[in-house]
Each structure stands twice: as structure tokens, then as C-alpha cells.
Amino acid sequence: MKFRSILLLFSVILAQQVTAQTVNQKDPESCTSIMVGKKASTDGSVMTSHTCDSWYRTWATIEPAKDYPRDTIMNIYDGLMHTEFDKDMSNTTIKGTIPQAKHTYQFFNTSYPCLNEKQLGIGETTISGRRELQNKNGMFMIEELERVVLQRCTTAREAIKLMGELIKLYGYGDSGECLTIADPNEVWHFEVFGEGKDKIGGVWAAQRIPDDEIGVSANIPRISNIDLNNKDYFMASENVYDVAKKLGYWDGKNKKDFKFYKAYGGPSRDGKYKAFSVREFFIFRSFAPSREWNYDVEELPFSIKPEKKVSAEDVMKMLAQYYEGTEYDVTRNLKIAQRQRGSEKVDSIVSPVANPWMRSDEIAMLNGINKDAVKSVRNIAVPQCAYSTVIQLRSWLPDAVGGVAWFCLDNPGQSPRFPVFSGTTDLPDMFKICGNHRYREDSALWHYRKANKLATVRWGTARKSMDENRLYFIEKGLTELPFVESRYKAVAQEKGEEAARAYLTGYTKDVAGATLLRWDEMANRMWNDYRFGF
């Protein structure tokens, strides 16, 4: 009874702090990306994905294709990820310039730019690595490399090679990063680090996910042995061995013993080397449950063959995971007794005020009352997520409709998704305003966040409605996709490509608008349901 009373008090505290679950600081474990090869997917599409799990900008635009006169230069920036709208240049700096291409492709401009009109898609996760490798004098931050390659490239291999050239010429200034780069035929896992304090350059390696397998990146370097004789599956900077030997990360004796993640990722805080976290382990185990899995090993397989082919819906649901019902579920010990209506039988249920996204101080409070009541584990879906994407790339369709980014703002375990196609040319105005700087009702983010935060106050009762609505929009989008594809083709044939892209743009805006209205309705209903207290 004492513990139940504390849980009721806990609900009041949550009510007072409902908007405080997202903390304005960089999450040290930010972002998850799942990759799917074309023979591993249910429909033959290649997939990459991304959860942008920290305090980055939520505004997004579609940047049009452009032509430039000869000798034009383009600025390379730092700081664009924390601006409030597309023309906002506050706290940004120009790190340098490079020659502009004569023609650039249209692309979906998220904080980490993610999809272009040629069906080139990119996901991202920060992998940090050895701090002494970062050289801030390098020109390129990772998001600017993404922007340039989406403007100039049509395939994953082209993108990797161009990034390698830019890093060599101008230098890489960011911490360790992973990009999961896909086109309609293949998906690659690319990892990059600086070259050290005395060298403006960079070092990188890329490994292809086999067509019948899936891969995962979740903030830890994962590329192990590299075989540069196998050009179909490996690429790397020409200095990949030399830098490791020079800096003492590898003895230089046998290239077969060289492990990229060990050399450049370095040991964890406890001095151990490990090439995966709980997220990679959970995702791989979920897609291949019959295999023997051991969390205590140093490496998991780089990629695995799933036991069943993977759909876009499967990836969306995996990015919404918070391990409910497993040994990683943070709410599994927060149970109360509940008498069944009309019966003397008493069930033990997870308290309605327990939720999988409790803050560290809330967890500390509960553990102070009942030791080890909550064991904190980093969920896949987190409340500090700015936005997330699941990108499908399909070789059998025209580029404009073949590439689709299923877009979601705020916590992917709560928010809906809607499709942004490679040929979509505009977004609703609300999506062009960032909501992470301040409360703004003209920002789409807050129309999702209000309902999402209210739902966590009594997650046990609010989640049913929220889950139903979230899954409704996933089903709606996937069910209507074949019609959208056929309609696009018909409009293109009857009225031309411009009209067909206008149709895609209208469809994107209609579905996006419907999600906003549904989440506003839920927030209003929850305020009414909770009017006598939380």
C-alpha cells in the first residue's frame, strides 16, 4: 500500500512536470538506424532509417533542384542543426567554401538531410570514438557532408566516394559518425573519424549490408575486419591503416587482425572494447529469435539474415520499441494490485502512472523507496527524439514515387508517421518551424508533443488510444501506397511530371494535416479526462 501511495504521488509530480521530459542537452546515446537489404525486405525495397534523438532542429523543408553558373562557390556551415527556421542563421558559422556543382538535386532537408529526388537515402548515428581524433579545424561536419552528397549523387557508392574526396581535400571536423547510406539497389554502413589534432583530414571505412541481411547502428562503431580486396563489400580511406599505426592504435603487423572499431572507436569507460549496445542486441534478437544470442561477447555479427523478411511496418514498429514485456522493460517492477470489476479476483498490473520514459530523477525517487524497482535501460524510442525517418527505396518505380521517407516528429513510440516522397516538393508551413527552441503553436512539433507528454502522465490508460491512432496512420499510409503510385503514374502520363509531383505534394500535406488534427483531438480529450486530477 505504501508503494501504491507513492505511485499516486508520483503521478501528481508528473502532472506538474509534464513538459519537462525532454531535457535541453545532448544525449550521449543519440540515434538509431536500421538497414534492410533488398532481398531481406518483404517487397524488394532497400531501407535505411534514423531516429534523431537529441535537441536538434525539427524544422524541415524540401530544397529544390537548382542550376548554377560556372565558378559559383557554396558555403559549408556549422550550426544549422540548431536554427529555428530555414532562413535563421543565428549562431551559425561559415567554415569554408567549395566549388558549387552546375546542377544540384532536390532533397528533403531535415537536421540530418535524408532523401533526394534520385532515391538516395541516408540515416545517421553518432559513434563518438576516441576524442583525440577530432580536429575541429576540419571543414565538414557530418550533416554538411550529407547535404552535399544528396545534392550531387545518385547512388550510395557515389556518395561514399565523394565524401572521401571532400574529407581528404577539406578535412573532417566532427566527432565519430556513422551514416547508413542506401539507394534502390544496396545499403552501406559508413563510419568516419577525424585524423588527429595535428592533421586536418579524416579516416573512414564503409561496409555493405548483404542484400539478404539487415544491419543496425546505435551509437557504437561496428565495422570490424575490413577486406579491401573485396571491393563489392568494402571501401576505406587510403590512410585507414597508416593513421592507426601512427597513433598507436594498432601494431601494424597483420592487416587481417586489424579491427576498425577497436582502432578508432577505442575502449569504453570501463576500459573494455565492445562493438554493440542493448539496442543492436535487441533488434537482432527480435528479427532472428531462434539464434543463440550472448550479450557478454565483444562483437555481434556485423549484419544478420532475418528469419522472416522485414517490411517497412516492421522497421517503424521497431523504432517505436521500449522493450515492453522483456527483461529490459523499465516498468516491469512497478506493479499494483487491481481488483477485477464484479469479481473478488485481484490482478497484479503495471501501475497506470508508470511509463517507459521516466526521467533519471523520477527513477531515483522510485529506487529510493524500493531498491532496484527500476533498472534504467536506453529504449529505442525516446522522448528527446526530434524526428525520425524510415526510408524505402524501390528500383521498380519512378524515382519521384519510388523513394519515400516515412516521417515522424517527437517520440516515435507515440507519434504518427506520414510519407514524404522523393518527388514531394513542399511541406505544410507548420513543419518549417522548429519547436525545440520554445513553445510555438505554429510549429508542428508541439501539436504532437502536447498529447504525447500528457499521455505519459497516465500511460496505462492513455496508451490504448494513442497506439490505435499511431498504428492507424501507419496502416493508412501503407495501404494507400499502391494507389498513390498508380495515380502518380497516371497523372504523369496525362498531365506531365510537374502535375504528378504536385499530386504527391498534396497527398503528403493532406496526411500530415490529418495527423496534426488527430493529435490535437487526443490532447483536448486528455485534458478533459484528467480534469479532476492526474
Quick one: average pLDDT of 464-490?
98
Question: Within 13 A of 515's CA, how many CA atoms are on the CB side?
Answer: 33
Res 389 pLDDT > 50: yes
Partners of 63 in beta bridges = 107
**What own/partner pairs with CB < 8 Å and gap ≥ 24 does 257-262 have?**
258/225, 258/226, 259/224, 259/225, 260/191, 260/205, 260/221, 260/223, 260/224, 260/225, 260/226, 260/236, 261/191, 261/220, 261/221, 261/222, 261/223, 261/224, 262/224
Identify the band that residue 271 occupies on the pLDDT scale cut at 50, 70 and 90: confident
- Report the distance separating Cα 38 and Cα 61, nearest Å: 28
Percent of the chain with pLDDT over 70: 94
Residue-wise pLDDT for 498-512, tens only, equals 999 999 999 999 999
Cα–Cα–Cα angle for 157, 158, 159, rounded to 5 degrees: 90
Q: Which helix (H) or strand (E) holds 505?
A: helix 497-529
Dihedral sign from CA coordinates of 158, 299, 50, 87: negative
How much is the pLDDT for 531? 81
Res 395 pLDDT > 90: yes
Q: How far is CA 16 from CA 5, 12, 165, 359, 444, in A?
A: 17, 6, 52, 14, 23
What cell numbers appear for 7 in the block? 505511485
Helix-, strand-, coil-residue percentages of the chain, each rounded to 5? 35, 20, 45
What cell numbers appear for 155 in the block? 547512388
The number of beta carbons lying within 10 Å of the beta carbon of residue 414 is 29
Partners of 16 in beta bridges = none
Residue-wise pLDDT for 291-337, tens only, equals 999 999 999 999 999 999 999 999 999 999 999 999 999 999 998 88
More confident call, 350 vs 445? 445
The number of beta carbons lying within 10 Å of the beta carbon of residue 149 is 26
Quick one: average pLDDT of 132-149?
97
CB 201 within 8 A of CB 168: yes
Res 26 pLDDT > 60: no
How much is the pLDDT for 193? 98
Identify the band that residue 349 occupies on the pLDDT scale cut at 50, 70 and 90: confident
CB 366 within 8 A of CB 19: no
What cell numbers appear for 512 in the block? 500530415
CB 196 within 8 A of CB 132: yes
How much is the pLDDT for 337? 83
Can you tell me whether residue 473 is helix, strand or coil? Answer: helix
Residue-wise pLDDT for 166-190, tens only, equals 999 999 999 999 999 999 999 999 9
3-state secondary structure string, 4-51? Answer: HHHHHHHHHHHHHCHHHCCCCCCCCCCCCEEEECCCCECCCCEEEEEE
How much is the pLDDT for 532? 75
What pairing do the DSSP bridges indicate for beta strands 203-209 and 234-236? Answer: antiparallel
Query: For the stretch 168-205, what's the b/e string if a residue is b when 16 or more beta carbons lie within 10 angstroms of its beta carbon?
Result: bebbbbbbbbbbbbbbbebbbbbbbbbbbeebbbbbbb
The number of beta carbons lying within 10 Å of the beta carbon of residue 352 is 19
Partners of 181 in beta bridges = 122, 188
The number of beta carbons lying within 10 Å of the beta carbon of residue 500 is 22
Cα–Cα–Cα angle for 57, 62, 68, rounded to 5 degrees: 115
Cα–Cα–Cα angle for 332, 219, 367, rounded to 5 degrees: 30
Residues present in the chain in total: 534
How much is the pLDDT for 11? 43
Residue-wise pLDDT for 30-73, tens only, equals 899 999 999 999 999 999 999 999 999 999 999 999 999 999 99
Those residues with Cβ within 8 angstroms of residue 338's Cβ, 6 or more apart along the chain or in another chain: 346, 347, 348, 349
Question: Within 13 A of 522's CA, how many CA atoms are on the CB side?
Answer: 30
Res 91 pLDDT > 50: yes
State the average pLDDT for the chain.
Answer: 93
CB 524 within 8 A of CB 452: no
* DSSP for residue 193: E
User: Taking Cα atoms as reference points, which of 65, 164, 57, 158 lies closest to residue 112?
Assistant: 57
The number of beta carbons lying within 10 Å of the beta carbon of residue 74 is 17
Look at the block and give the residue holding cell 539507394.
183
pTM of the model: 0.93
* DSSP for residue 279: H
Query: For the stretch 209-236, what's the b/e string if a residue is b when 16 or more beta carbons lie within 10 angstroms of its beta carbon?
Result: bbbbbbbbbbbbbbbbebeeeeeeebbb
Cα–Cα–Cα angle for 366, 369, 373, rounded to 5 degrees: 50
How much is the pLDDT for 7? 44
Partners of 178 in beta bridges = 125, 191
Identify the band that residue 1 occupies on the pLDDT scale cut at 50, 70 and 90: very low
Name which of 253-257, 264-268, 392-396, 491-495 the model is least confident about: 264-268
Q: Which helix (H) or strand (E) holds 369?
A: helix 360-369
Identify the band that residue 346 occupies on the pLDDT scale cut at 50, 70 and 90: low
How much is the pLDDT for 534? 67
